[in-house]
Amino acid sequence: MKTTASILTKFTLGILIAGSIAACNQNKTADKPASAAAAPSGDKETIVYVNSDSLLNKYDYFKDMSKRLEDKGKASQSDLQAKGQAFQREVAEYQKNAATLPADQRQTTEQRLQRKQQELQGYSQNANAEFQNAQASENTKLYDKIADFTKGYAKEKGYKLVLTYSKANPTVLYGDASLDVTADVVKRLNEAYAKDKK
């Protein structure tokens, strides 16, 4: 399920970046030069970043979400494996007895086994599609939680722009450690999630 976490991470990063760009575009003013918009007011920074690698590794909601998806994937895989093994046993039984069966019974059995194989393939495709839908739904919820929190957090702290940083998708090549608000964001997200769970 490492690929699931990797896909979730990339998806979340992309969404956070898009959200940051949209927030930036909403705050543009036509008569202010770009350097003035990014300049800090007094000692307060107006642009900060969140390390999304750390955020996802430490955010309890993401951990729970990943566990739910992993459990769902394992259950689906186990169910599919059991159905596949049952089908293989049926095929082996047929092959063992095929020589002793009359031609019409062999043909009927082969047709039935072929239908079962097609049903099994359809079941596998449906299970995969269902898992992808569940994953997309969970990613949407994750994005909404982080984006809604970040919007309120930025407003509360007076930040004009909150960027995301990730080694996997380095859109920010350097950020001074004083601009990193990840620890505070994770702490407060986890506090909010703990309240939601109760």
Domain boundaries, the chain: 2-197
- pLDDT value of position 22: 40
Task: Determine the Cα–Cα distance for residues 5 and 92; give it in Å rounded to an integer.
Answer: 38
Residue holding tokens 């769902």? 72
- pLDDT value of position 180: 86
- pLDDT value of position 83: 93
φ, ψ of residue 164 to 5 degrees: the values are -120, 145
- pLDDT value of position 170: 76
> Are the CB atoms for 52 and 9 separated by under 8 Å?
yes
- pLDDT value of position 73: 93
C-alpha distances (whole Å) from 33 to each of 8, 27, 162 are: 37, 13, 19
C-alpha distances (whole Å) from 128 to each of 11, 17, 76, 125 are: 18, 28, 8, 5
**Segment-wise mean pLDDT, segments of 10 residues, the chain, 198 residues:** 46 43 39 36 73 93 95 94 94 90 91 94 94 95 93 91 86 79 93 89
pTM: 0.66
φ, ψ of residue 185 to 5 degrees: the values are -65, -45
> Tokens representing 149?
């929190």
> What is the CATH code for 2-197?
3.30.910.20
- pLDDT value of position 60: 95
- pLDDT value of position 43: 55
